[in-house]
Amino acid sequence: MTEDTDRVAVDARDPAEVFGLLAAEARVDVLRALADHPQDAVSFSGLFAAVDAVRDSGNFSYHLEKLRGAFVREADGGYALTHAGRQVVGAIHAGSYTADAAVDPVDVGWHCQRCGGRMTVAYADGAASMECRDCGSGARIPLPPATVDQVDRSAFPEAAAAWYHQRVRRTLDGFCADCTGRIDAELVSAPTADGPSLAEFSCPRCGRTATLSGTTIATFHPVVEGFLVEHGFDTTAHHPSQIWPELDDTAVSVRSRDPIALTVRFEHGGEAVSVDVAPDASVETVDRSPVE
């Protein structure tokens, strides 16, 4: 056996084969029954009693055996979910594969950064959209349908903003919001008269790409979030573009054009916070100080 200290061992199996293991009602019921007891192992007899789809214990062991390894592990004389098993049950609850939902556009009373038009928040086809009614610019954020079911129409814009916040947080922390792979990031354009600066985030593994403005990257830095919260602005409940016009000043300057590097400065209530965004879209330095 060779030892390779630089790499983490990952046992990759054929996805079609692994997902095929779930193609029986009894097996999905086993995962749900285990998820009902997240802290404890469940005994064979307890599990057999909880699953109605199969009434013969020999047949039941056959199904359980199929799940063992990928989705179910043995623990404390019984059975428990593996991480993958918990993810499958989570996806069932989120309705990612099985549900559908829609929310008609809600007028959220904030103005488009590009044209000053009215912004709306809506949900369709598995994604929340924050969109300008007049020029169509905005953002589209994948969101599981069963999460949408849990909020009222009036609370939906705030829930969508919170979800946006957690997707952006994950992207800025360097993980693909879809597949959890490591992400590559780069500032690709400086601000122009027509639009904001842009950074591109791409996942080499699943191919997902996302763009964020330099101002958004700066807004989500913990020091800036603290500054904003202390001045009464909650970035988890509002899209950043809702907050910027409310501040005394928000400005972006270009520190370098090749490669692109930016400084974003927010000012409010006699204080300013200045954020240097590097060419790789990371935050280099943050400085918070009173305005002279």
- How does 230-265 read in b/e, with b if 16+ C-beta sit within 10 Å? ebebebeebbbbbbbeebeebebeeeeeeebbbbbb
For residue 260, state whether it binds Zn ion (rule: CB under 5 A).
no
Out of 135, 155, 229, 251, name the contact with Zn ion by CB under 5 A: 135
For residue 130, state whether it binds Zn ion (rule: CB under 5 A).
no
Give, as one character, the DSSP assignment of residue 182. B
In whole angstroms, give the CA distance from residue 267 to residue 292. Answer: 12
The sheet with strand 260-268 has its strands ordered as 249-257, 260-268, 271-277, 283-290
For residue 181, state whether it binds Zn ion (rule: CB under 5 A).
yes
By rule CB under 5 A, what count of residues binds Zn ion? Answer: 15
Out of 54, 64, 67, 176, name the contact with Zn ion by CB under 5 A: 176
Residue 112 vs 281, nearer CB to Zn ion: 112
| Region near Zn ion per CB under 5 A, out of 51-59, 78-86, 179-187, 247-255 | 179-187
| Region near Zn ion per CB under 5 A, out of 31-39, 51-59, 203-211, 272-280 | 203-211
Q: Identify any residues that bridge with 127 across adjacent strands, giving them in sequence order.
A: 124, 142
For residue 114, state whether it binds Zn ion (rule: CB under 5 A).
yes
Q: Which phi and psi angles does 174 have, rounded to 5°?
A: 100, 15
Residue 59 vs 87, nearer CB to Zn ion: 87
In whole angstroms, give the CA distance from residue 217 to residue 277. Answer: 8
Q: Which amino acid is at 262?
A: L
For residue 92, state whether it binds Zn ion (rule: CB under 5 A).
no
For residue 105, state whether it binds Zn ion (rule: CB under 5 A).
no
For 46: left if phi > 0, alpha if psi spans -120 to 50, otherwise beta; the answer is alpha
Residue 178: CB minimum distance to Zn ion, A: 5
For residue 208, state whether it binds Zn ion (rule: CB under 5 A).
yes
For residue 182, state whether it binds Zn ion (rule: CB under 5 A).
no
Query: What is 40-89 written as a DSSP string?
Result: S-B-HHHHHHH--S---HHHHHHHHHHHBTTTEEEETTEEEE-HHHHHHH
Crossing angle of helices 83-94 and 25-35, rounded to 10°? 100
Residue 38 vs 136, nearer CB to Zn ion: 136
Residue 178 vs 267, nearer CB to Zn ion: 178
What is the footprint of Zn ion within residues 222-251 (CB under 5 A)? none
For residue 122, state whether it binds Zn ion (rule: CB under 5 A).
no
Residues that bind Zn ion (CB under 5 A): 112, 114-115, 117, 132, 134-135, 176, 178-179, 181, 203, 205-206, 208
